[in-house]
Amino acid sequence: MNRVERVRAGETASIARMISRIERRSDGVADELAQLHRAGGHAHIIGVTGAAGSGKSTLVGELTAHYRRAGRTVGVLAVDPSSVFSGGAILGDRIRMSALSGDDGVFIRSIATRGALGGLSRAALDAITVLDAAGKDVIVLETVGVGQAEVDVISAAQTVAVVSVPGMGDDVQAIKAGLLEIADVHVLNKADRDGAQKAYAELRDMLRFAPRTDWEVPIQRTVAATGEGVEELATRFDEHHEWMSRTGELNRRARRTAATRIRWMAEEIVLDRLRDGEPEFDREVDQVADMSTDPLHAAQRLIGAL
Amino acid sequence: MNRVERVRAGETASIARMISRIERRSDGVADELAQLHRAGGHAHIIGVTGAAGSGKSTLVGELTAHYRRAGRTVGVLAVDPSSVFSGGAILGDRIRMSALSGDDGVFIRSIATRGALGGLSRAALDAITVLDAAGKDVIVLETVGVGQAEVDVISAAQTVAVVSVPGMGDDVQAIKAGLLEIADVHVLNKADRDGAQKAYAELRDMLRFAPRTDWEVPIQRTVAATGEGVEELATRFDEHHEWMSRTGELNRRARRTAATRIRWMAEEIVLDRLRDGEPEFDREVDQVADMSTDPLHAAQRLIGAL
């Protein structure tokens, strides 16, 4: 079997190697991703975001265990733009400590690129393609939600869950407000803590400012440390998926992601060709520099020659 | 005469209208710029940058007056990314107060775009094309030099002058250090002030860290308010231009700018085609969304169809 076939067979080591190839933009990976893309479209892609300290990672672990008990396979991708190097170690610990280690139905991985934030969003999107083609039933994309970069990453998800905890103060309220418009499900974690009822009421009040659709954004209380509310949270996700399928929203989100993927790919193809040292490019640069042609016609010729 | 011909005839009002068309990206402007580009290549493009308060604007005014006395025509473009709306007013005052008002051999204009900083760099580059085609002998590109955006703008110049003044403190030293590698000429303005000798010595010491070429970066002392040193500064610029012509550096810089112009144009052509609502794009998005094709082949087809 070739690399693509081994990924499609769900081999854990082959999936890991393919994602490393994506992070490094190895030769031939664009073509492999093209094949993998056509083999996908099965997974429910769930984004989980929220401030550090919200217990997000524990929640994702419990959610994964729940899905496994229900017989569903899971891929987890952790994206933390602010901490490219620590992510892997933390995840490694989590896997070793977890009952899930050794289970081929689960794949857990952090995504790291040393380049621009755009590169990280793109690597995350490509890793989803891999896990989808590998047949995972659920893909969980976990980010630390603080800025626009994380919002870009999380927008690749079909269902977005924003995690809050009681008593995080005004700063966190601002973050929640920023994430409000992308949340399909709100999670109030550590719901056994003091102040949980107040935080729930605040969240509910904030939801009045959310854009109106016929999907009523639920607030699910959880205590990730004990697993309380996790099964119900999975049900909320299923309900959202069912609503998206029924209303055409699933297709609308798939189209949005497809448009992003096509634009990124086109950009890569064009800039790859318009690189110093490429003979056609250098020839056009010479002629634009000496005014014998102009940038518009040079660009048209270069694109036409692709 | 059409728009392009009127610009080439040097008509002030037509130049102003063409730059407004650039700022708005009006229909047909890409084609007009292509014609104007081929008519250019004559002007010496001088970038003048430095922190606010360095007397840069006064210096540019005196420099312009000097060039006019020497019979050379001048275009001035002021770019201030941090102050899109004030620029025009300040320039307006400067023109009204100036002996240059009513002189058709001078064109002064601020560049403003409400879009991204990349848009500003691009508008500045296109405005240079206009002034060059209009036959200006010298084009002065004036920016407030504090960040990467300003460095991007100023890199369109053939000769870059960085203006400092005595006693601006450590913060400004950091700015100067950032601009050090792009300076072809250093200007120590307000050189009649206390501390001028110390500032001169500091600048000279800093120049030891500048990249080595066979152009020795001069430090010119000026007192813009009285015009002192301005003629000598113009001589430094001429010497730099002569050195660039002699060594091939002028062509190297023209090629660098040409490559940037071609890439921007290609990006515009491609993204214009890859827009929601374009039938070919929407068709590919549908097929990528339903996995009947993939982003790579969709992008290749869309680019191939351009």
pLDDT in tens, B58-74: 999 999 999 999 999 99
Choose between B91 and B189: higher pLDDT.
B189
Q: What is the per-residue pLDDT for A89? A: 43
The interface predicted TM-score (ipTM) is 0.85
In this prediction, residue A280 has a pLDDT band, given cuts at 50, 70 and 90, of: very high
Burial class (CB in 10 A: 0-12, 13-18, 19+), A68: middle
Q: At what angle do helices B29-38 and B12-24 cross, to 10 degrees?
A: 130
pLDDT > 50? residue B52:
yes
pLDDT > 80? residue A11:
yes
pLDDT > 80? residue B13:
yes
| Integer Cα distance of B209 and B217 in angstroms | 12
Q: What is the per-residue pLDDT for A102? A: 75
What is B3-247's CATH topology?
Answer: Rossmann fold (3.40.50)
Tell if the CB–CB gap between A39 and B291 is shorter than 8 Å: yes
In this prediction, residue B206 has a pLDDT band, given cuts at 50, 70 and 90, of: confident
CB-defined contacts A:B, below 8 A: 147
| Integer Cα distance of A211 and A213 in angstroms | 7
Q: How far is CA B59 from CA B54, B227, B239, in A?
A: 9, 8, 19
The verdict on A259 touching B (C-beta cutoff 8 Å) is: yes
Instruction: Write down the number of H helices and E strands in chain B.
Output: 13, 7
In CATH, what is the architecture of A40-247?
Answer: 3-Layer(aba) Sandwich (3.40)
Q: What is the per-residue pLDDT for B129? A: 97
Q: Per mean pLDDT, which of A96-105, A199-208, B27-36 is the most reliable? A: B27-36
Residue A172 structure tokens: 């966190």
| Integer Cα distance of B82 and A109 in angstroms | 41
Burial class (CB in 10 A: 0-12, 13-18, 19+), B207: middle
Facing residue for A265 by CB, picked from B255, B296, B306: B296
Q: How far is CA B129 from CA A88, A291, B25, B48, B132, in A?
A: 50, 11, 15, 18, 5
Full-model pTM: 0.73
In this prediction, residue B86 has a pLDDT band, given cuts at 50, 70 and 90, of: very low
Q: What are the DSSP calls for A190-202, one per residue?
A: STTSTTHHHHHHH
Q: What is the per-residue pLDDT for A85? A: 41
Average pLDDT value for residue range B193-207: 88
Residue B84 structure tokens: 């899109």
The verdict on A180 touching B (C-beta cutoff 8 Å) is: no
In this prediction, residue A297 has a pLDDT band, given cuts at 50, 70 and 90, of: very high
The verdict on B30 touching A (C-beta cutoff 8 Å) is: yes
Facing residue for A255 by CB, picked from B285, B295, B303: B285
Tell if the CB–CB gap between B254 and A289 is shorter than 8 Å: yes
In this prediction, residue A185 has a pLDDT band, given cuts at 50, 70 and 90, of: very high
Asked if residue A269 lies in contact with residue B301, where contact means CB atoms within 8 angstroms, the answer is no
Domain boundary assignment for chain B: 3-247, 274-304
Looking at the complex, report in whole angstroms how far the Cα of residue A26 sits from the nearest Cα belonging to chain B.
15
Which one-letter DSSP state was computed for residue A228?
A: B
Tell if the CB–CB gap between A296 and B30 is shorter than 8 Å: yes
Asked if residue A132 lies in contact with residue A40, where contact means CB atoms within 8 angstroms, the answer is yes
| Integer Cα distance of B157 and B143 in angstroms | 11
Residue A292 structure tokens: 């014998």
In this prediction, residue B87 has a pLDDT band, given cuts at 50, 70 and 90, of: very low
pLDDT > 80? residue A120:
no
From chain A residues 266-285, the ones with a CB under 8 A of any chain B CB are: 266-271, 274, 276, 281, 284-285
